[in-house]
Structure 1
């Protein structure tokens, strides 16, 4: 039997999992991912700490199994998209990595929006423009850290950086870099005209060669192998944007009548298409793992991470009692409370600079009402994205949902009742790790394609059907939520009046 490692570098954890060729998880290890917050709106990662996390989880994984490293035929990485992880001109760490939830470039993006730059670039990039994009961060560095800007040697994203540390090879992986705004969707490569529009043309030479997800990127070096216990020369493949990894494992494809929902730190709704369709709304198109296909998605950092933030206030000993919380919410009438929560702790999907908050809180409200409002607010944010995606995928009748929130049956039933759609929960715990391992399997010729690998793995799912009696109730409260956010937006826009 051949074995493969999938490394998953997420916002909360770094995980490494070992799979056999049939997708069975043999072992898993994880460590908490640490972020550095030097100022409000800054979200960074110490690059050596990130690499140490990767080494630690791989070492822990290998020590947790009797599988011989001789039988491990490949490794790949699934990671958060966007952000920047920079090497200098000597291929040394230039500064802390800046991750996608960072908002230091807010004023720059607002200026670009006022100048209609998003409208100018969209026909070339098929991307929106916001603070977590590499181009926004790089422009901020040019204006505020010119010494670092002048020393940029390579512009990487998280999995590119980790792959570099494993192999010594510098590359940019396609599914991630295609959503960077460096990349021209029409030509399929970098575009110096785009960099000039952003005022960062000096870094064009720092954009690395582009590789596909299942393409061989290099081999684990002897020094790294000795340090973490892998065999020197173990193949390392391109990897994936984690949104793509999750879509693969959810089972959505270009012919499916379903969309993928990710409920984690980010709220993500994805669909797969084999063509770019001109519509009034500016959808985000990224290259998919299947040649000739695109992943189309809506996303914002407005999902279950907002619930986890409250653990210190609504939990005990740093943890939630999820069973108790489910029982508390289940005992309440669906969508009957006048209490609202706007889940913008980490960012908004309704305008720049909007903040989180409760509205309607009164003395009679209990812990149960607070949790219910948080869960509803997260679902309402997801529904904003779903409403937009349904225009592009009008035949979608079901949602294939992944993320830690899927463990809550009450929350999943709320989702079904709000959307009126069937909810399918694939029986895959670690979609990031498995997606990465699967592209390594294809790269190592274990399978001829992603589709063939998925078919061999025979993934089951659990289904939740909507309760039509609750649909109108949830939709009424959802419309009220949209009105509330509109008021918040107006308040934010006039804060300097």
Structure 2
């Protein structure tokens, strides 16, 4: 029997998952990844510690599975996008890695906005500009850490760094790098003109070779084999931006009749298309998809379930946190019983730079259940902001495919269906990030010719949730109230 290893590296958790060639999950090992927040807006990780965490996860899943690692015929990584990981010219890490949720470059991005830079770059990159993009962080480093900038030999993102530690090869995977603002979406290559616009033209020589998801990146080195428990020579394939990975596993395709909703650290709504011409004045984000010739279009912000998880120490008794109990409290309430407004901007905003999270309307009669219902509803409203824009790009949408840990909460999912008025389809697949990465290695190794036939062979079941049309107008009314509150916060932020 052949086995394939998929690694899913998120903001605070790294998972190693082993699958057989039929896509059956054999073993799963989770490893917390430490995040360093030493200054306001800074979100970093110690890259050596990150590599050790990955090694422990791989060793753990092999041990848990009980299989001979010689049976593992390939591995790949699905990882959080953007951020920045720098190597010097000798291949050593220059500093801590910086995650996409980092906002240290906010003043630089504001200045770029004032100078009209987003409008200049969009026809080239098909990307917006924000603080977590590699170009924003790299410009900050040039200004504030010039010694680091001048010694930069390679510009990577998180899965590029892990793959480098496994294989010794410096490469950048295209589904992630295509959304970096280094990449020209028309020419499908790095663009020196973009580097000039961002005033980081010296960094051009540090941009690595581009590889596609199913390309063979290299093989596990002797050193990596010793640390991970894998066999030296095991093939390592390119990998995926995690947004692409979940879209692949959701089963959406370029017929433009379905969207993928991801409820994880980030609120993400994605669609697949063969047409990269956005048309009109709206700027949609287009990235290279796992299938050549197709594009992933998505709206995203760090406004999803991580905002619920932040409340973990405060929602349990004596520090305990039980999601099932929390869900039962919400399920016992009438829909929309909590008139509290929660703005899920703990890690960033989708309504303007600098806006902060808040709870409005809390009174003495509100219970713990009301607070949880309000938190869930506020997160759904942020998702809905993205969905409204995506529906203008994909007007023929009939259903939503929902991924992420929150999709296991039927009460929360019913709220989503009732709010959007759309039928939900929830793939009964626990680990979409790791599964997407494993699919990459299966295709790279020749088990399947392409993603479509691989997914058809694996045959993932789907749970369907239908909306209650009687609640739609009530949700729309509360969403309008949420929008008015956001406008007040924007005015307040401008006054401060």
Q: Please give the range of the TM-score, normalised by the shorter of the 2 chains.
A: over 0.9
Match of 1:474 in 2: 475
Distance 2:313 2:325 in 1: 16
**Hey, what does 2:127 align to over in structure 1?**
127
Query: Equivalents in 2 of 1:316, 1:294: separation in Å?
Result: 46
Secondary structure of the structure 2 residue equivalent to 1:57: helix
* Structure 1 residues 318 and 8: alpha-carbon distance in aligned structure 2, compared to 1, 3 A threshold: farther
Tell me which moved more, 247-256 or 44-53: 247-256
Equivalent residue for 1:214? Answer: 214
Alignment of 1:67-106 (within 5 A): 67-106=67-106
Deviations, residues 111-167 of structure 1 (Å, cap 9, x unaligned): 000111000000000000000000000000000000101010000000000000000
Q: Give me the whole-angstrom Cα distance separating, in 1, the residues matched to 2:338 and 2:447.
A: 53
Are 2:183 and 1:183 equivalent residues in the alignment?
yes
Per the alignment, residue 299 of structure 2 pairs with 298
Task: Output one character per residue of 1:15-48: Cα deviation in whole Å (capped at 9) or x when no partner.
Answer: 1011111100111111111101110000001000
1:94-119 deviations in Å (ceiling 9; x for gaps): 00000000000000000000111000
What secondary structure does 2:317 align onto? Answer: coil
- Asked whether the 8 Å contact 1:43–1:99 carries over to 2, the reply is yes
Q: Map 1:368-383 to 2 at 5 A.
A: 368-383=369-384
Q: How far apart in 2 are the matches of 1:321 and 1:226?
A: 38
**Root-mean-square deviation (Å):** 0.9
Unaligned runs of 5+ in 1: none
The whole-number CA distance in structure 2 between the counterparts of 1:70 and 1:326 is 43
CA offset digits 1:213-261 (Å, max 9, x no partner): 0000000001211222111100000000000000001111101511100
Once residues 323 and 6 of structure 1 are traced to their aligned partners in structure 2, the CA distance between those partners, rounded to angstroms, is: 28
Q: Distance in 2 between matches of 1:414 and 1:398?
A: 15
Q: Does the 8 A contact of 2:273 with 2:297 survive in 1? A: yes
Indicate the residue corresponding to 1:348 in structure 2. Answer: 349
Name the residue aligned to 1:289.
290
User: Structure 1, residues 306-327: CA drift from partner, whole Å, max 9, x if none?
Assistant: 1111111112354422222222
Residue 165, structure 1, aligned to residue 165, structure 2: yes
1:284/1:319 CA distance change after superposition, 3 Å? farther
Report the equivalent of 2:398: 397
CA offsets per residue over residues 426-456 of structure 1, 9 Å max, x none? 0110111110010111111111001111110
8 A Cα contact 2:12 2:35, kept in partner:
no
Cα distance in structure 2, aligned partners of 1:221 and 1:382: 42
How do 1:112-261 residues align onto structure 2 when only pairs under 5 Å count? 112-261=112-261
Normalising by structure 1, report the TM-score: 0.98
Equivalent in the alignment of 1:53: 53
Superposed CA deviations along residues 187-237 of structure 1, whole A, max 9, x for unmatched, are 110001100100100100000000000000000001211222111100000
Distance 2:113 2:285 in 1: 17
Partners of 2:207 and 2:227 lie apart in 1 by 29
Q: Distance in 2 between matches of 1:72 and 1:176?
A: 25
1:402-421 aligned within 5 A: 402-421=403-422
Preserved CA contact (<8 Å) 2:256 2:394: no
Measure the CA separation in 2 of the matches of 1:189 and 1:76: 23
Distance change >3 Å, CA 318–CA 237, structure 1 → 2: farther
2:426 equivalent to 1:436: no
Tell me if the contact between 1:334 and 1:474 (Cα under 8 Å) persists in the aligned partners.
Answer: no
Tell me how far 1:281 sits from its aligned partner.
1.1
- Count matched residues: 495
Aligned to 2:321: 320
Moved over 6 A (4+): none
1:380, 1:288 → 2: CA distance?
27
The structural deviation recorded for 1:399 is 0.8
1:172 alignment partner, SS class: strand
Q: Which residue of 1 aligns with 2:9?
A: 9
Change (3 A) 1:453 1:319: farther
In 1, the alpha carbon distance for the partners of 2:227 and 2:113 equals 47
Q: Distance in 2 between matches of 1:324 and 1:337?
A: 18
Q: 2: distance between equivalents of 1:369 and 1:279?
A: 42
Report if the CA contact (8 A) 1:334-1:473 is conserved: no
Question: Is residue 261–residue 268 contact of structure 2 (8 Å, CA) maintained in 1?
Answer: yes
Contact 1:329-1:369 at 8 Å conserved across structures: yes
Query: What CA distance in whole angstroms lies between the structure 2 residues aligned with 1:447 and 1:407?
Result: 29
Any idea what the Cα deviations from partners look like across 1:362-404, whole Å, max 9, x if unmatched? Answer: 1211111111110100000000000000001111111111111
Q: Which runs of 5+ in 2 are unaligned?
A: none
